[in-house]
Amino acid sequence: MFKGLAASVAASVLFGALYYLAPLLAPLDGEQIFGWRVLCTLPFTTVLLLAQGQWPRVRLLALRAWREPLLALGLAGSAAMLGVQLWLFLWAPLHGRALPVSLGYFLLPLVMVLAGRVLYRERLSRLQWLATLLAAAGVAHEVLRAGGMSWETWLVALGYTVYFVARRRMRTDHLGGHWLDMLLLVPAALWFVLRAPSSLPLVADNAHLWALVPVLGVVSAVALALYMAASRLLPLGLFGLLSYVEPVLLALVALLLGESIGAAQWPTYGPIFAAVAVLVVDGALRLRQRG
């Protein structure tokens, strides 16, 4: 359990760093950054895969896909769902949509808690239920205030939940399955990088990108590996609740990038920030009990 908690929190911190890094990659646009992210992430993910001795899992998964056509289709769908999320994550801060996406990450844990209860009969502690109710109050306020949620918000909240449930059902919720997702995204990544006008001259002509693009790959590889590890080590509901650490960091990054939270939005974000604080207390109490 502790390894899952540590992996989730570390992944959230690194995702916050990626959110802040995206605007620094100008003049690349969102699609080009997505392409470079996939191409630079895969080599470092491969190193992690080999270092952890998980290559046999990839071979086994490939054999299963060869024998089960439906699994092959499922793997393609899994890669597509991940690709959309990776694209949106880097597209949003470049187009002033960082807050709607961060709100999607606020809503995501609630959807995961619901999925965990319905699909896996998972139970939460009292403090975890309190955190869920606080977050639900904040999300409900935002629905009433805005008259609904933006497409970016729903895409994150529903899309990621379907992705993680599908990986558990297909038994691909390990680093080998994640590596295969990234490999299947390479053709799309190459298209975004090389399509006219090609981004290769942009990278060649901007010295700061020589360092930032590889950094993007390293941070992304480690963050995604930790995130996938946490999804496997933790119950789906608890994994979802811990995901609240990430949107808090994303909201802070959005503020650093010049976006703002209006007075009418604080009843949305306030209860959610309180929910994160409750989760911190719950985690501290669990660690104390272990000690």
pLDDT higher for 48 or 73?
73
How far is 46 from 50, CA to CA, in rounded Å? Answer: 6
Q: Which of 36-40, 132-136, 148-152 has the highest mean pLDDT?
A: 36-40
- pLDDT digits over 194-242, tens only? 987 888 888 888 888 888 888 888 888 888 888 888 877 777 766 766 7
- pLDDT digits over 111-143, tens only? 887 888 888 887 778 888 898 898 889 888 877
Q: How confident is the model at residue 2 (pLDDT cuts 50, 70, 90)?
A: low
Match 């295969």 to its residue by tokens.
Answer: 180
User: pTM for the whole thing?
Assistant: 0.78
Instruction: Judge whether 101 and 95 are in contact, CB under 8 Å.
Output: no
Q: How confident is the model at residue 20 (pLDDT cuts 50, 70, 90)?
A: confident
Could you say which DSSP state residue 91 is in? H
Which residue type occupies 79? Answer: A
How far is 174 from 49, CA to CA, in rounded Å? Answer: 10
- pLDDT digits over 175-193, tens only? 899 999 999 999 999 999 9
Which residue type occupies 35? Answer: G
Q: Give the domain extent around 252.
A: 2-286
What is the end-to-end Cα distance of the chain in Å, rounded? 14
What pLDDT is attached to residue 247? 65
Q: Which residues contact 108 (CB under 8 A, 6 or more apart)?
A: 156, 157, 160, 161, 240, 243, 247
Answer whether residue 11 is part of any domain. yes
| 120: its two tokens | 């896996």
Answer whether residue 274 is part of any domain. yes
Answer whether residue 235 is part of any domain. yes
Longest CA–CA separation in the chain, Å: 58
What pLDDT is attached to residue 122? 76
Answer whether residue 291 is part of any domain. no
Match 């009292």 to its residue by tokens.
Answer: 126
Which residue type occupies 271? Answer: P
How far is 90 from 87, CA to CA, in rounded Å? Answer: 6
* pLDDT for residue 67 is more than 90: yes
Q: Which residues contact 5 (CB under 8 A, 6 or more apart)?
A: 230, 234, 242, 283
Answer whether residue 251 is part of any domain. yes
What pLDDT is attached to residue 21? 81
What pLDDT is attached to residue 107? 78
Match 């470079």 to its residue by tokens.
Answer: 36
Answer whether residue 18 is part of any domain. yes
What domain count does the chain have? 1
